[in-house]
Structure 1
Amino acid sequence: MAFQDLLDQVGGLGRFQILQIVCLCISSIIVFPHVLLENFTAAVPGHRCWVHILDNDTVSANGTGILSQDTLLRISIPLDSNLRPENCRRFLHPQWQLLHLNGTFPNMSELDTEPCVNGWVYDQSSFSSTTVTEWDLVCEFQSLISVSKFLVMAGMLVGGIIYGHLSDRWLAESARWLIITNKPEEALNKLRKAAHRNGRKNVADTLTLEVLKSAMQEELEAAQNKPPVCDLFRTPNLRKRICVLSFMRFTTLIPYFGLNLHVQHLGKNVFLSQGLFGVVTLPSNYVALLALNHLGRRVSQMLFLFLLGISILTTTFVPEEMQTLRVALATLGVGVCSAAITSSATHGNELIPTVVRALVLGVIGIAANIGSAVAPLLMILTVYSSHLPWIIYGVCPILSALVVRLLPETRNQPLPDSIQDVENERKGWRKAKQEVISMKVTTF
C-alpha cells in the first residue's frame, strides 16, 4: 500500500479537498488584484507643460476670445516627431510666427524650448486623479513609477520569505508532508479528519497508526535522515534541477509581470486591456492542462514559452496606431504566459523529492519573486530606447524555453520521495544508456 491508496480510502476528491481549493481561490481572488492596482492608481494620463497664456485663470477670464485654445496651444507647445504636442517641453516664448505658416511645420529644434518649469496640465477624461498627477511623476521623474512598482514587488519577495515560515504554524499541513517529516500521529489525525468531512466515517476503524506506518515505510525511513539545506546543492542531479527550475521561473515571471504591470503601454483603453487579460487566464490554464496530459511537460513548456516570446517581440514593433492588433497580441502573450507558469509549476512539483519539496519550492519561489521585482525596474531602460524593456521581456521566455530540455520528462512517472530517488534515476538512465550502446556494439 502506498500513500495514494490511503488517499483513496479517505476520499481522493471529496468535500474536504474541494473546500481547500475554494479557500485558496478566495484568498487568491482577494490578494492578486492588489498587484494590479497600480495599472489604475499609477496610470499616466496625457499631459503637457503648464503655459501662462493658456492655463492662467486670470488671463482666460479676461481674454477677448479672439484666439482659440488650439491656436494658443500651437504657439506655446512644440510638436514631437508624430506631430503631437510635446509632453515635457514648451517654447521659451510664444511663437507667434507659427500662426502664419498655413499648415506647414518648421524645424522645432531651431526654436528655443525649456522644460516644464511651472508644472503640467493633465488630461482628466479617464482618470480624475492618480499618484502620477498628485506628485507629478512624469518626464524626468517618470522612472519613479517603476521604482514604486519595484518596491511593491520587493515587498512580496520579503513577505514570501517571512510569511512562508509563519504559515508552517498557522496553516494546515498536508498529511504526506507530515509523514515524511516524521510526524505520523499528526498525519493520521489529518487523514481521519479528511475522511470524516468526505463522509467516510468508518475509515477511522481501519485507518490506524500501524496501517499508516506500513503504507509509508519508505517515506518514514527517509524522514529519519532528513537532509540539511546544504544537501540540496551537494548532489548533482538535484542541484541541476533546482538551478534550472529557478532560472526558468525567474525568466518566466519577468515577462508575466512586465505585461500585467504595464497595460497602459500596450493599449490606450486600460480597462478593456485589463479585462481581456483577466478573461484569457482561465481558458489558458485549461489549455495548459490538456497540453500537459497529451504533449508532456517539456514540450508543453517549450511551446508556451516560445509563443510568449514571439508575441511580445511582435507587439513591440507593431505601430501604436494598430491598437487592435497590439491588444490582441498582448492578450495572447498573457494567456500563453499563464499556461507556461502552470506547466512549470506542475513540472517542478514532479521533479522535486517529497522530503525537500517545500524547501526547494521556497527557493524557486524566491527566484520567481526576484523576477517579479525586476520586471517593473526594467522600464527605466526606456530612457535609452522605448523598445529595450520589451525586447528583454520577449527574449527571457525564449531563453527559458531552451533550458527546458535540460530537465527530464515526468509525465506518467512516479513522484520521487527522497534525494536518493532523484540520483538513482540518473544512475538508472546512465545504466540504460550503456545497455543500449552495448547492444548496438554487439549487433555489429
Structure 2
Amino acid sequence: MAFSELMDRVGSKGPFQFLNMVLLGLPVFGLANHYLLQIFTAATPAHHCRPPPNASTGPWVLPKGPNGKPEMCLRFIYPPNASLPNDTQGATEPCLDGWAYDLSTTDSIVTEWDLVCDSNRLKEVAQSVFMAGTLIGGIVLGDLSDRFGRKPILTCCYLLLAASGTGAAFSPSLSVYMVFRFLSGWSISGIVLSTSILNVECVSIQMRAIMSTVLGYCYTCGQFILPGLAYAIPQWRWLQLTVSIPFLAFFLLSWWIPESVRWMVVSGKFSKALKILRQMAALNGKKEEGEKLSVEDLKISMQKEISLAKAKYSIADLFRTPNMRRVTFCLSMAWFSTGFGYYSLAMSVEEFGVNLYILQLIFGGIDIPAKFITILSINHLGRHITQASTLLLAGGFILALIFVPPDLPTLRTVLAVFGKGCLSSSFSCLFLYATELYPTVIRSCWAKKPKQEPEAEKASLRIPLQPCGPGLDPS
C-alpha cells in the first residue's frame, strides 16, 4: 500500500485538509508585505539641498539640470544675485547641510537616514541584505527541517519574523535595520519551505493542484493588502510594525498545525504519526478506518522511504548522478533568472512614473490571470512548454523596456506588468518542478540525494509527471 493510498483511507480531501489549509494560508497573506515592504518604506520623495545656515532670507534658488528641473543633489556655492566674477557665478557644490524632503505623502528610511544622492544605493543594499537572508535561510533551514521536522521550523520562523520585523521598526540606525531585515528574510525562507511541504503532503495527488493554487492566491491577495496599509499608515516605522505583529498571532496558531506524517514515519516516530492519521480520519468522518490502522501499515506503506532515510546525504548528492546534475543545473538557472527578473521589476515600481499605490495594485492583480493561465497551460500543453514560454515572453518584455524612453511611462508600465505576469507563471512552474523532480527526502532544501533511487524516483527524472499545481510562489 503506497502512502497516497494510506491518505485516501483516512480522507485526503475533507475538513482536516480545509482546516490545515486555513492555518497555513493565513500567514501567507502577510508574506507579500515583507517581500515588497521596501517599495513603500524605502520610497524616495522629492527633495533638494537644504539651504546653508547663513543663507539670506527669501526663496531658495536651485541650479537647473539638463531636463530643466531643479537639481536634487547640487546647490549654488554663492547666491545667484551676488556680485562675483563671471568665472565663479553659477558654481555648484554637493548638499553640505543635508536635504529638505517633501513629507506631504510619506516618510521612509530614505528620509530618516538621508539615503539620497551619493548614498542612494544603500536602500538597494538593504533589500539585497533581506534577499541574502532568504537565500541563506533556505539552505540552513531546509536541512534543519529534515532533521527536526517541518512544524518546529515553521513555528520558530513565525516567532522570528515577528521579532525581527518589530526590531526593524525600532532600529536606531541603518546598519541595525539591515541586521533585522536579514533575519526577516531568513525566517521567511523557513515559512515558505515548511508551508509548501505541509500544504501538499496530507492531500491526494489529484488535490495538490487545487491546494497549491489556493495557497498561491493567498500570496497574491496579500499584494493588495500592502498598498492599502501603506496608504493608511504613511510612517514607515508604524507600517513595519503593523505588518510584523500579526506573525505573533500566527506563532500561537501554529500549535494546531499537524506535523508532516511522511516525515514522522521516515524519522521513526510511528506512534505520533499514527495519532495524527487517526485525528485526520476522525475529522474527515472516517474514524473506523483510522482505528484500523497500525504501525505495521505505516511501515509497509513507506518501506522504501524508510530505508532511504537511513543513508547520509550532502550537497554533493545533488550532482552524484547524471539525471540529478541535469535537474539541479536547469532548475538553478531557471530560479536565478526568474527571481532576478521578478524582483528587479517589483522593486522598481516608483521608477515607472505612475502612482505608486495604483501601480502596486496592478502588479498584484496581474498574478490572478497569470496563475490561472499557467494551470490551464500545464494541464493542456505540459510543463516544458509552459516553463519555456513564460521565460521567453518575460525576457522579451524586459528587453523591450530598454528601448522605450522614460517619457512614455504608460508603455513602460504595460511592458513591466506583462513581464511580471510571465515571471509569476514561471515561479509557479518552478515550484511544481522542485516538488516533483526531487525525491521526498531532499524536497525541502535540495541538499540531499539518496544513493540508491527507487524506481519511481528514477522514472520521475526521465518522463513527464502529472502536474500537481503551481505551489506557493513569491509572485
TM-score, with structure 1 as normaliser: 0.70
Does residue 297 of structure 2 align to residue 190 of structure 1?
Answer: no
Q: Tell me how far 1:210 sits from its aligned partner.
A: 3.0
Question: What's 2:129 paired with?
Answer: 151
In structure 1, distance between residues paired with 2:315 and 2:77: 64
Q: Tell me how far 1:343 sits from its aligned partner.
A: 0.7
In structure 2, distance between residues paired with 1:314 and 1:428: 36
Identity between Structure 1 and Structure 2 (%): 38
Which structure 2 residues correspond to residues 216-255 of structure 1 after superposition, within 5 A? 216-225=302-311, 227=313, 230-255=316-341
Q: Tell me how far 1:340 sits from its aligned partner.
A: 0.8
Secondary structure of the residue aligned to 2:26 is helix
Quick one: structure 1 residues 50 and 126, their matched pair in 2 at CA, closer, same or farther if it must change by over 3 Å? same
In structure 2, distance between residues paired with 1:302 and 1:337: 11
Question: What's 1:133 paired with?
Answer: 111
Q: Tell me how far 1:181 sits from its aligned partner.
A: 4.3
Quick one: structure 1 residues 418 and 323, their matched pair in 2 at CA, closer, same or farther if it must change by over 3 Å? farther
Structure of higher CA gyration radius = 1
Secondary structure of the residue aligned to 1:44 is coil
Question: What's 2:405 paired with?
Answer: 319
Residues 236-256 of structure 1: per-residue CA shift (max 9 Å, x gap):
211321232123212211122
Question: What's 2:22 paired with?
Answer: 22
Question: What's 2:184 paired with?
Answer: none
Quick one: structure 1 residues 243 and 421, their matched pair in 2 at CA, closer, same or farther if it must change by over 3 Å? farther
- The equivalent position to 1:121 in structure 2, one of 100, 121, 125, is 100
Report runs of 4+ in structure 1 exceeding 6 Å deviation: 426-429
In structure 1, distance between residues paired with 2:384 and 2:451: 21
Q: Tell me how far 1:183 sits from its aligned partner.
A: 4.3
The farther-off stretch of 111-120 and 180-189 is: 180-189
Residues 51-72 of structure 1: per-residue CA shift (max 9 Å, x gap):
459x95x713xxxxxxxx5xx6
Residues 222-245 of structure 1: per-residue CA shift (max 9 Å, x gap):
345465554333222113212321
Aligned residues: 351
Question: What's 1:257 paired with?
Answer: 343
Quick one: structure 1 residues 194 and 426, their matched pair in 2 at CA, closer, same or farther if it must change by over 3 Å? closer
Q: Tell me how far 1:317 sits from its aligned partner.
A: 3.1
CA RMSD between the two structures: 3.3
Secondary structure of the residue aligned to 1:202 is helix
Which structure 2 residues correspond to residues 70-219 of structure 1 after superposition, within 5 A? 73=61, 76-78=62-64, 80-96=65-81, 111-127=90-106, 129-164=107-142, 165=144, 168=149, 170=152, 172-219=258-305
Q: Tell me how far 1:88 sits from its aligned partner.
A: 1.4
Question: What's 1:419 paired with?
Answer: 453
Secondary structure of the residue aligned to 2:115 is coil
Quick one: structure 1 residues 33 and 204, their matched pair in 2 at CA, closer, same or farther if it must change by over 3 Å? same
Quick one: structure 1 residues 424 and 201, their matched pair in 2 at CA, closer, same or farther if it must change by over 3 Å? closer
Q: Tell me how far 1:302 sits from its aligned partner.
A: 1.0
Residues 399-420 of structure 1: per-residue CA shift (max 9 Å, x gap):
xxxxxxxxxxxxxxxxx99634
Letter in 1 for 2:126: S
Does residue 360 of structure 2 align to residue 274 of structure 1?
Answer: yes
Unaligned stretches of 5+ in structure 2? 155-257, 464-475
Quick one: structure 1 residues 109 and 277, their matched pair in 2 at CA, closer, same or farther if it must change by over 3 Å? farther
In structure 2, distance between residues paired with 1:48 and 1:241: 52
- Counterpart contact for 2:318–2:448, Cα < 8 Å: no
Q: Tell me how far 1:355 sits from its aligned partner.
A: 3.0
Q: Tell me how far 1:271 sits from its aligned partner.
A: 0.8
Question: What's 1:299 paired with?
Answer: 385
Q: Tell me how far 1:296 sits from its aligned partner.
A: 0.8
- Counterpart contact for 1:238–1:419, Cα < 8 Å: no
Secondary structure of the residue aligned to 1:358 is coil
Letter in 1 for 2:63: I
Secondary structure of the residue aligned to 1:318 is coil
Comparing both structures, which one devotes a greater share of its residues to helix?
A: 1
